[in-house]
Every structure is written in structure tokens, then in C-alpha cells.
């Protein structure tokens, strides 16, 4: 098993991340079994609830049934005014995790893996000719776990290996609240034996069906298949076969590196044909907060009297979310968007869908620090609105973004025939 002397990768992964963020918000949840619901889906399950048999993507009704029996509950994913889902608290927690990990000076690179995971690279050699002892590696991982718990009240698992993929498999095997070393050839082989092949990156769908057909259960089972057999007998492409064979040897050629920031930021909202029943914790405050009982998440008819007001509500929520991300991004990346794009998916009678994109310049960065006078159009609309969210004064940047988005929306729906409905909206900046 080849590896460069000294290189050790620590993969840090927060356990049941969405659940822990909810738990920080609501300490009364304590050690109760609970799961996080998003519309009619279960998107996160804490470990106590997993033990009771609750699984991701179960129907909320089924999950609630199981949880009731063990004194648990369902928690709805974070929502803002109007019942719209916002991931901002989770993104914020993710940023805190990354910032904490970056403060560990021994890590020469900290690569963000996803909202709640990161790879930390320790390079002791070959120049330094230092190889990390298993004991030292263990202490470093334990220190990361303690920092996350003491400073952020988040429990994490850490996988320690010679490369990225093995470290990720190790952290998955260490869950929850644990750590696993896969440094020696023996440790790596044990990890490959206990890891289902379907847990390899992007091996969930078609690949796992192929594995099942061929009787391949663990990653180690792949070792008896040559690259040629993987291609010819199991139908993998040349590249994929090579990658699977590499992983089966416990190797991985991907470097730990800081990824460039995304080129654009966007917020999307689908306006489902049927209003989705919400969790009882909403206590009657459903997604419908319009007195005429037009659900906020229902398609918006272009020629309806309420069109302008309903679109404004949607756009206010979306631009508000986007604004939070732009401000965080400008702080982290020292940049400011040049353009704002509004994309609408319009159901266009008789039987068509049209995608319309409209672009304008993004408000100047000075708006965030020097408030301009409110655009008159926004001020007028605000006085006629019925929701408390719109009565609250908007930040100057939010006002400018909303004003732009409203104009783009008017341009995008111009000329729409009677019966046309907006079924999806996406606001992005680049
Ligand atoms: Mg995680």
C-alpha cells in the first residue's frame, strides 16, 4: 500500500448535522429521539431515533408513528415567514465548523467537503521526514472533536487515513461520536471489509445494483475483480473501473485542496400544484398565510389580481435569503456580485412550459453600508401588503434587490397568455 511518508488526512464529519443544529436551537429536545421533516420527507434522523427504526426519506406519518412509541417527536426544518424553508441556520453552523477547523495551525490545508464536513491535511514529510505516530494522530483527532463539542456543542466523528476517500470511509465507520484510524495496511483492510461497496462515493444507484448482482458486498470484495472484469462483466466505464479498483486497494489519488468558491449563489423555490400539509407544530400556520387561502407555495397565476402581491412575497423571501448569503460570501471571499438573474418556469397554456431568464446589474456594494432612500415602488407596495414580514422595514440592500427582482419578474411575465402560471422561480447572482 503506497503512501507518501507523513501525509495524514483527517476527515471531520458532524453527526446527524441537521438534528444537532435543531438541538442547539431547542435544548429541550435533549437526548430525545427525533427526526427533521421537510415537507413530506424526512431529511435527518438523530441516533436515538435511528435505533427506534426511523430512516431518512420515510414518510413523516410513518416516522411520527414510530417516534410516538418511544417518546420522540418530529421537528420541522427551519422556516421563515410564510412557511418558507431556510437553510441559513445550517449554513451558519457549517461556517462555524469550518472556521473552527481552520484555526488548527497543524493543518496545511482545510478543504470544505460539504455543509458539515471537511478534510484536514497534515503533511509532516518527506522534507521534514516526520511520520505521525498513531498515538499523535489519535490525540489530534480527539482535540478536534473536543473543540467542536466545547465551542460549538456539536458532536463529530473523525476518520484518519492516508488519503481522502479512506478518511471519509473511516469517519463513516466511526459514527456516531467516534474516531477511527486507518493508517496501517491491516487497519485499511479491516475498514474495506466492514464498508459496504454501495457506500463508496457516487455508488448509491446504478453501481450498487451492479454490485448486488455480482455478489459484491464490501469494498474488499472488489479486490477480486480486475479493472477489465469490472468493465466487461459489470459494465463500468474505463474511468470508473479504474477508480473502483484504486479504492479497493485503499488508495485514492485526489488531493486535499481548497476548492474555489462557487461562481454563483442561487435560491430556488418550486410552487407545487398541491399545497403541502405541514407538520402539526405549525399549529394552523400553514404555508397559506394569504387570507384568500391561496397557498404561498401554489403556482401563481400571472393574470390573477393577486399576482403582483404574491410574487412580491415570494421574491421578498428569496432575495432575503440570498442577501444573507451574499453578505457572508462577500465577507469570506472579498467579492461582490455583478449581475442578478431571475429565472421563471411558467406553465404556458395550452400545454407547454417556458423558461424565461431576465438579468440586470446587481446593486452596488455601497448599498450595504450607505442606505439609500427607499425606492418609491417598494414603499408603496409595502403599505398595501398584508403580512407582518413586509411591514417590517427591509434592509436597504434587500429593498434594492427586491425592487430589481420585481422589475425582472414583470419583464419575464410580459405577454403571458391567460391561464399562464409561475410554477418555479430561481433568483441567482453571479
Ligand atoms: Mg454529517
- Ligand 1 centroid to 302 CA: how many Å? 41
What residues have CB less than 8 Å from 410, skipping those under 6 apart? none
- Ligand 1 centroid to 176 CA: how many Å? 10
- Ligand 1 centroid to 117 CA: how many Å? 6
Q: Which domains are assigned to the chain?
A: 7-13+89-248 (3.30.70.270), 17-80 (3.40.1170.60), 265-429 (3.30.1490.100)
C-beta of residue 318 within 8 angstroms of C-beta of residue 425: yes
Closest among 403, 408, 310 to 359, alpha carbons compared:
408
- Ligand 1 centroid to 175 CA: how many Å? 9
- Ligand 1 centroid to 10 CA: how many Å? 14
Strand duo 300-301 + 117-123: pairing: unpaired
* Bridge partners, 356 (sequence order): 344
Q: Please tell me the predicted confidence (pLDDT) of residue 278.
A: 40
* Bridge partners, 301 (sequence order): 421
- Ligand 1 centroid to 9 CA: how many Å? 17
- Ligand 1 centroid to 171 CA: how many Å? 9
Cis? peptide before 422, omega within 30° of 0:
no
What parts of the chain have a pLDDT lower than 50? 1-4, 274-295, 370-390
Closest among 92, 84, 117 to 10, alpha carbons compared:
117
Closest among 285, 415, 429, 279 to 360, alpha carbons compared:
429
Q: Please give the helix or strand (H or E) that residue 322 lies within, else none.
A: helix 307-333
- Ligand 1 centroid to 237 CA: how many Å? 30
- Ligand 1 centroid to 374 CA: how many Å? 42
| Cα–chain center distance at 393 | 30
- Ligand 1 centroid to 155 CA: how many Å? 10
- Ligand 1 centroid to 246 CA: how many Å? 25
Cis? peptide before 41, omega within 30° of 0:
no
CA distance 281 to 22: 14
- Ligand 1 centroid to 14 CA: how many Å? 4
Closest among 285, 286, 288, 278 to 75, alpha carbons compared:
278
- Ligand 1 centroid to 90 CA: how many Å? 12
- Ligand 1 centroid to 372 CA: how many Å? 42
- Ligand 1 centroid to 96 CA: how many Å? 14
- Ligand 1 centroid to 230 CA: how many Å? 30
Query: pLDDT tens digits, residue range 185-233?
Result: 999 999 999 999 999 999 988 899 999 999 999 999 999 999 999 999 9
Q: Please give the helix or strand (H or E) that residue 109 lies within, else none.
A: strand 109-114
Amino acid at each position: 500500500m503506497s503512501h507518501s511518508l507523513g501525509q495524514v488526512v483527517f476527515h471531520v464529519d458532524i453527526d446527524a448535522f441537521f438534528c444537532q443544529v435543531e438541538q442547539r436551537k431547542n435544548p429541550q429536545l435533549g437526548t430525545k429521539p427525533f427526526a427533521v421533516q421537510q415537507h413530506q420527507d424526512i431529511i435527518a434522523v438523530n441516533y436515538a431515533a435511528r435505533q427506534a427504526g426511523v430512516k431518512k426519506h420515510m414518510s413523516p406519518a410513518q416516522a411520527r408513528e414510530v417516534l410516538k412509541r418511544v417518546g420522540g417527536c418530529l421537528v420541522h426544518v427551519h422556516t421563515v415567514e410564510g412557511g418558507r424553508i431556510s437553510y441559513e441556520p445550517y449554513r451558519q453552523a457549517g461556517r462555524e465548523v469550518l472556521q473552527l477547523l481552520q484555526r488548527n495551525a497543524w493543518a496545511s490545508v482545510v478543504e470544505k467537503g460539504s455543509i458539515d464536513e471537511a478534510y484536514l491535511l497534515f503533511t509532516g514529510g518527506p522534507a521534514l521526514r516526520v511520520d505521525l505516530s498513531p498515538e499523535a494522530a489519535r490525540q489530534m483527532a480527539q482535540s478536534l472533536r473536543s473543540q467542536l463539542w466545547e465551542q460549538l456543542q456539536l458532536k463529530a466523528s473523525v476518520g484518519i487515513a492516508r488519503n481522502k476517500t479512506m478518511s471519509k470511509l473511516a469517519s463513516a465507520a466511526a459514527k456516531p461520536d467516534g474516531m477511527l484510524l486507518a493508517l496501517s495496511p491491516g487497519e485499511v483492510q479491516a475498514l474495506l471489509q466492514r464498508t459496504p461497496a454501495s457506500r463508496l462515493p457516487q455508488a448509491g444507484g446504478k453501481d450498487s445494483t451492479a454490485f448486488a448482482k455480482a455478489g459484491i458486498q464490501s469494498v474488499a470484495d472488489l479486490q477480486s475483480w480486475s479493472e477489465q472484469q469490472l468493465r466487461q462483466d459489470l459494465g463500468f466505464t474505463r474511468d470508473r473501473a479504474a477508480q473502483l479498483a484504486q479504492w479497493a486497494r485503499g488508495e485514492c489519488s485526489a488531493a486535499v485542496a481548497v476548492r474555489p468558491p462557487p461562481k454563483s449563489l442561487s435560491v430556488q423555490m418550486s410552487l407545487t400544484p398541491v399545497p403541502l400539509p405541514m407538520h402539526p407544530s405549525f399549529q394552523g400556520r400553514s404555508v397559506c398565510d394569504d387570507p384568500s387561502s391561496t397557498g404561498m407555495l401554489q403556482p401563481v397565476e400571472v393574470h390573477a389580481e393577486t399576482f403582483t402581491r404574491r410574487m412580491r412575497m415570494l421574491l421578498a423571501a428569496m432575495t432575503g435569503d440570498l442577501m444573507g448569503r451574499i453578505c457572508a460570501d462577500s465577507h469570506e471571499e472579498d467579492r461582490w456580485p455583478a449581475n442578478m438573474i431571475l429565472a421563471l418556469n411558467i406553465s404556458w397554456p395550452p400545454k407547454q412550459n417556458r423558461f424565461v431568464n431576465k438579468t440586470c446589474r446587481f446593486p452596488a456594494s455601497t448599498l450595504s453600508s450607505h442606505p439609500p432612500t427607499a425606492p418609491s415602488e417598494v414603499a408603496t407596495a409595502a403599505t398595501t401588503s398584508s403580512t407582518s414580514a413586509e411591514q417590517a422595514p427591509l434592509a436597504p440592500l434587500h429593498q434594492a434587490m427586491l425592487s430589481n427582482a420585481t422589475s425582472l419578474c414583470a419583464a419575464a411575465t410580459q405577454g403571458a397568455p391567460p391561464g399562464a402560471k409561475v410554477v418555479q422561480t430561481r433568483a441567482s447572482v453571479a
